Amino acid sequence: MQAPLINQTYAQLPAVLHALAELKPVAAPKLLIGNSTLAQHMGIDPSWLESDEAAQLLSGNQSAAHGSPLAMAYAGHQFGGFNPSLGDGRAMLLGDVVLADGTTRELHLKGSGRTQFSRGADGRATVSAMLREYIISEAMAALGVPTTRSLAVMATGERVWRQKPEQGAVLTRVAKSHVRVGTFQYLAARHDVETIRTLMNHEIARHMPGVTTAQDFLATAISRQAKLIAMWMSFGFIHGVMNTDNMQIAGETIDYGPCAFMDGFDPQKVFSSIDENGRYAFDKQPMIGLWNLTRLAECLLPVLDDDKTYAIKIAETELQNYMPQFEAAFEQRMLAKLGIDDLSQTDFIATTLQHMANARADFTLFFMGLTRGENVEKFFMSKLAHDEWDQQWNTLKSAKANELMKHHNPVYIARNHRVAEALAAAELGDLAPFHRLLNAVQSPFTEQQGFKDLEAAPLPQEEVLQTFCGT
Residues serving a catalytic function are 245
Q: CA 258 to CA 204: how far, in whole Å?
A: 31
